[in-house]
Amino acid sequence: MDVKIRRALISVSDKTGIEEFARALEGMGVSIISTGGTARALQDAGIEVLSIDSVTGFPEMMDGRVKTLHPKIHGGLLGLRDKAEHTAAMKEHGIEPIDLVCVNLYPFEKTTARSGCTLEEAIENIDIGGPSMVRSAAKNHRFVTIVTSPSQYESVLSEMRDKRGSIGEDLRRDLARQAFGLTASYDAAISKYLNGRAEDLFPQRLSIAAIKEQELRYGENPHQRGAFYKLTDSREVSVGAARLLEGDTPISFNNLMDANAAFELVKEFDEPAAVVVKHMNPCGCAVDSDIQRAYEKAYLGDVVSAFGGIVALNRPVDPDLAAAIMDSYARFGKAHGAGGFFAEVIVAPLFEPEAIELIRTLKTWGQRVRLLETGPIDRQKRDKREYDIRCLVGGLLLQERDLAGWEPELLSFPTKVRPTQEQMEDLRIAWLCAKHVKSNTITLVNGRKLVGVGAGQMNRVESGQIAIKHAGAAARGASMGSDAFFPFPDNVENAAAAGIACVVQPGGSKKDDEVIAAADKAGIAMIFAGKRHFKH
């Protein structure tokens, strides 16, 4: 059933395109009701409007808090035009039907994102009348069209032009669906803000506000559909908030997962650092005083696994760095057994225009590589109230994010031998890398470069053996990191046999004394970090 649009109510905070939209409605013979600042803006543009108080018979009052909450408005929205009882009540009380509502809500999220926003300001930007009208119109979408975003204006006008001023049932239903999503997201944002001011980290009811950024080619596998949703109130520098620079190949579900893993590790370091990730685990990570040198070291950590991986950097990409990344195989990899090199994604705070041009014009890379620009990293702006969420069938697991890093005040030194200053630096990197590798985890670092990784094994001994095998000769003199304690001395004994010089692990095993004795026997320095970093 098509519904002729004769009367519209317009009340918007975001006035983008509203004059053009209202003028087009007016040109199709639609009578327009409006409120406050919207009415003034439309009148100033020469568009004839009825003020809300002329419809309700009551003035806008209480600083605009009360203006649309009135039977002559909600009766005009909720009345069923095909039900005699409703039409009789509307006639008796002088209620005229409203066929279209154009409303967008007070900018609550934008307001609370502003530095220094007070609770009073936040509360004043909680819209009441707007969501009420949206819900009323959406509930009665059999007869009412609800428009909630400037992005919908053209589709509404196009349909009215095609249908001689009417809106079809399919579009009304789709707009109603979007409207309920908007009000749910809006309420979720308010709930999260108020929960963030409470002591209770885990509220009785949890609402998550997210908006679809894009549909993806597929999920983890081609037979699964996938999409990326952005948390609307997230203000942290992250892959989720990054800008995807132009390219021919869309970014994938797995690309985003891996890019997030890579960038969250590289964010751990204040010094120039580079990370290469493959299948959610770092195969390369390095720190240096020079970002180009840090990248070279990270790439050389595992030139075979790096192919098709994700590169993350915590410094801007200039033309020299871009050239080094794209020429990695010829410069570094060929001599180390690599079969070539291509990065699926490069993530960095900034790409200089000349660097983008260089990447895009390289024949073998061109538009294929996705470039994610995050903006400058500020580790002080990490959102401690954002949940780490894991999905179960039929439920969610929530926890605080693991934001613990290298905490010198927690370190203890139980062995006779203490690490040198250089070893302490390698232990720090090994520890931070272990935090970002799937458990059970063993990492080996030598010369501020990740040289071996054992990830996700069912026992820690096997993880250690994999890391040592991968490191080869670089294991001698290396520093070992373990995400959890050693339950037995076997890892230390294997480390000693490989020539590993020192170890960082959480400590806390019932057999710590035996582990310490094994380290002392081998002359290995060991640090207890005091925390563990399981990553399932």
Q: Is the Cβ–Cβ distance between 100 and 9 less than 8 Å?
A: yes
Summarize the confidence of residues 160-169 as an average pLDDT.
Answer: 95
Provide the strand spans (E) within 209-367: 210-216, 226-231, 243-244, 273-278, 281-287, 310-313, 345-348
Residue-by-residue DSSP string for 192-203: HHHHHTSS-SS-
Positions marked active-site: 139, 279
State the chain's mean pLDDT as an integer.
92
Radius of gyration of the CA atoms of the chain, in A: 30
The model carries a pTM of 0.88
| Phi and psi torsions of 313, nearest 5° | -135, 150
Least confident of 88-102, 256-270, 495-509: 88-102
In 3D, which of 249, 232, 250 has the Cα closest to residue 241?
A: 232
Task: Tell me what percent of the residues of the chain surpass a pLDDT of 70.
Answer: 98
pLDDT for 64: 66
pLDDT for 71: 82
Least confident of 12-21, 86-95, 219-228, 436-445: 86-95
Domains plus CATH for the chain?
Answer: 3-196 (3.40.50.1380), 237-379 (3.40.140.20), 408-528 (3.40.140.20)
Q: What is the pLDDT of residues 310-346, one digit of tens each?
A: 999 999 999 999 999 988 877 776 666 677 788 999 9
Q: Is the Cβ–Cβ distance between 370 and 249 less than 8 Å?
A: yes
Residue type, 358: L
pLDDT for 108: 87
First-to-last alpha carbon distance for the chain, in angstroms, is: 52
In 3D, which of 216, 251, 274, 287 has the Cα closest to residue 449?
A: 287
CA atoms within 13 A on the CB side of 530: 10
Q: Is the Cβ–Cβ distance between 485 and 455 less than 8 Å?
A: no
Residue 89 pLDDT more than 70?
Answer: yes
Q: Is the Cβ–Cβ distance between 149 and 108 less than 8 Å?
A: no
Q: What is the pLDDT of residues 217-267, one digit of tens each?
A: 999 999 999 999 998 878 899 999 999 997 777 899 999 999 999 999 999
pLDDT for 335: 67
Burial code of 16-28, b = ≥16 C-beta within 10 A, e = fewer? Answer: eebeebbebbbee
Q: Is the Cβ–Cβ distance between 450 and 460 less than 8 Å?
A: no
Q: State whether residue 530 is helix, strand or coil.
A: coil
Residue-by-residue DSSP string for 102-163: EEE---HHHHHHSTT--HHHHHHT--SHHHHHHHHHHHTTTT-EEE--GGGHHHHHHHHHHT
pLDDT interval class at 193 (50, 70, 90): confident
